[in-house]
C-alpha cells in the first residue's frame, strides 16, 4: 500500500505555492520559515519529485516546477472538496464550538449564573470559556468572541456595547454595624480595599465629589476585582466595587451601598469579534443573548 504524504505537509506546500514565499507561508501557518522549508523538503523526498525551482543560493522567490504546478492543481481541488464536505458534515451532524474569552468577575457575576438558559435553548452549541486573571483589554487570536472592559478604540473589530463601567462604595452589613458610616468623612480611619490595577480609584472618587482625599487607617491591596468584592462581603473593609456587576450581591444583602455617588469611568464592557466571523449564526445568537442579559440585569 502506498504511503500517502502528511496532510500537514501538503497544506504547507499549498500555502507556500499560493503565496510564493516560505516566509509568508510561515506567518499564515504560525510556524517558522525553517519549519516550512523542512516540511517542503520532507515532502519532496517522500514524493521523489522537486516541487520548487531552487537558485544557487536557495529559494528566494518561489517558482513551481512543472511537477509542482501539476500537483498543486489537484491539491487545490482536493482541499476545496475536503473543506466543503467538512462544513456539510458539521452542519448536519456536528456541534459548533464557540471560544469565549471573559474577565473572571464578569464570568462569575453576569455570565455563569445565567448561562444555563442559553445552553438549554441551544443544545447543539458548545462553549469553551477562557477567563483571564485580570480584565482583558484585547481580543485574543484564539477567541471567537471576547468580552472586554476598556475605552477602545478596537480597530478592525466588530464591537457590541454592553454597559458602562462605574464603581460604588460598599461594605458588608456586619462591617457597617461595627463602623457606622453616614457621611463621606466617616470613611477616614477605616480600612479601604484597593484593586491593584486601580490604585488611584479612591482618589478619583473623592476628586469627583470635590472632597478631601480619604485618610484610611490601613489599605488592603488585592489583585483581582473578585477578591475586592469578596473582601468587602467578608467585612474586611470598604471597597469601590463595580456598580452593575455587583447588583445581585446588593439585592441579596451581602453588600450595602454606602452612598449613591458613583465613580464614573470612560470604560465600557463590550463584546469583540472579527468582522470575517460576522456570518456565523452561533456567534450572533450568543452575542444577542449576552446583550439581552446585560440589558435586563
The arithmetic mean of pLDDT across residues 13-21, rounded, is 91
Q: Which three cell numbers stand for residue 155?
A: 480597530
- pLDDT at position 13, please? 95
Would the pLDDT of 154 be above 60? Answer: yes
Would the pLDDT of 58 be above 90? Answer: no
Domain ranges of the chain: 7-92, 95-297
State the residue for C-alpha cell 458534515: 89
Instruction: Categorize the per-residue pLDDT at 59 as very low, low, confident or very high, splitting at 50, 70 and 90.
Output: very low
Q: What secondary structure, in 3-state letters, does 218-231 show?
A: EEEEECCHHHHHHH
The arithmetic mean of pLDDT across residues 137-166, rounded, is 87
Lowest model confidence (mean pLDDT) among 133-142, 158-167, 197-206, 210-219: 133-142
Which CATH entry fits the domain spanning 95-297: 3.40.50.2000, 3.40.190.290, 3.40.50.300, 3.90.1150.10?
3.40.190.290
CB 146 within 8 A of CB 272: yes
Would the pLDDT of 55 be above 80? Answer: no
Phi and psi based region of residue 254 (left: phi greater than 0; alpha: psi -120 to 50; beta: remaining): alpha
User: What is each CA distance from 278 to 157, 158, 237, in whole angstroms?
Assistant: 10, 8, 45
Average pLDDT along the chain: 89
- Render the burial of 149-172: b for 16+ CB within 10 Å, e for the rest: bbeeebeebbebebbebebbbbbb
The arithmetic mean of pLDDT across residues 122-143, rounded, is 75
| Rg, C-alpha atoms of the chain | 28
Determine the topology of domain 7-92 in CATH: Arc Repressor Mutant, subunit A (1.10.10)
Q: What is the pLDDT of residues 232-250, one digit of tens each?
A: 999 999 999 999 999 999 9
Tell me what percent of the residues of the chain surpass a pLDDT of 90. 61
Would the pLDDT of 129 be above 80? Answer: yes
Instruction: Categorize the per-residue pLDDT at 91 as very low, low, confident or very high, splitting at 50, 70 and 90.
Output: low
Q: Does the pTM of the predicted model rise above 0.75? A: no
Amino acid at each position: 500500500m502506498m504511503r500517502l504524504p502528511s496532510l500537514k505537509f501538503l497544506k504547507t506546500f499549498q500555502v507556500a505555492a499560493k503565496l510564493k514565499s516560505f516566509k509568508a507561508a510561515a506567518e499564515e501557518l504560525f510556524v517558522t520559515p525553517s519549519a516550512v522549508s523542512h516540511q517542503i523538503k520532507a515532502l519532496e523526498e517522500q514524493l521523489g519529485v522537486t516541487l520548487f525551482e531552487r537558485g544557487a543560493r536557495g529559494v528566494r522567490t518561489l517558482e513551481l516546477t512543472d511537477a509542482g504546478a501539476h500537483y498543486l492543481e489537484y491539491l487545490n481541488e482536493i482541499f476545496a472538496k475536503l473543506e466543503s464536505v467538512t462544513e456539510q458534515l458539521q452542519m448536519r451532524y456536528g456541534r459548533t464550538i464557540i471560544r469565549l474569552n471573559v474577565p473572571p468577575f464578569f464570568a462569575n457575576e453576569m455570565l455563569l449564573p445565567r448561562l444555563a438558559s442559553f445552553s438549554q435553548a441551544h443544545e447543539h452549541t458548545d462553549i469553551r470559556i477562557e477567563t483571564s486573571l485580570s480584565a482583558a483589554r484585547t481580543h485574543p487570536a484564539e477567541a471567537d468572541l471576547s468580552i472586554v472592559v476598556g475605552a477602545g478604540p478596537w480597530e478592525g473589530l466588530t464591537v457590541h456595547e454592553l454597559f458602562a463601567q462605574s464603581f460604588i462604595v460598599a461594605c458588608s452589613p456586619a462591617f457597617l454595624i461595627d463602623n457606622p458610616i453616614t457621611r463621606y468623612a466617616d470613611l477616614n480611619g477605616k480600612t479601604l480595599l484597593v484593586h491593584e490595577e486601580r490604585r488611584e480609584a479612591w482618589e478619583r472618587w473623592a476628586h469627583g465629589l470635590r472632597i478631601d482625599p480619604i485618610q484610611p487607617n490601613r489599605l488592603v491591596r488585592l489583585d483581582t476585582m473578585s477578591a475586592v468584592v469578596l473582601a468587602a462581603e467578608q467585612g474586611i473593609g470598604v471597597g469601590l466595587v463595580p456598580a452593575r456587576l455587583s447588583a445581585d450581591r446588593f439585592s441579596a444583602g451581602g453588600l450595602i451601598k454606602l452612598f449613591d455617588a458613583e465613580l464614573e469611568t470612560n470604560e465600557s464592557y463590550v463584546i469583540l469579534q472579527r468582522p470575517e466571523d460576522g456570518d456565523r449564526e452561533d456567534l450572533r445568537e450568543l452575542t444577542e443573548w449576552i446583550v439581552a442579559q446585560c440589558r435586563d440585569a
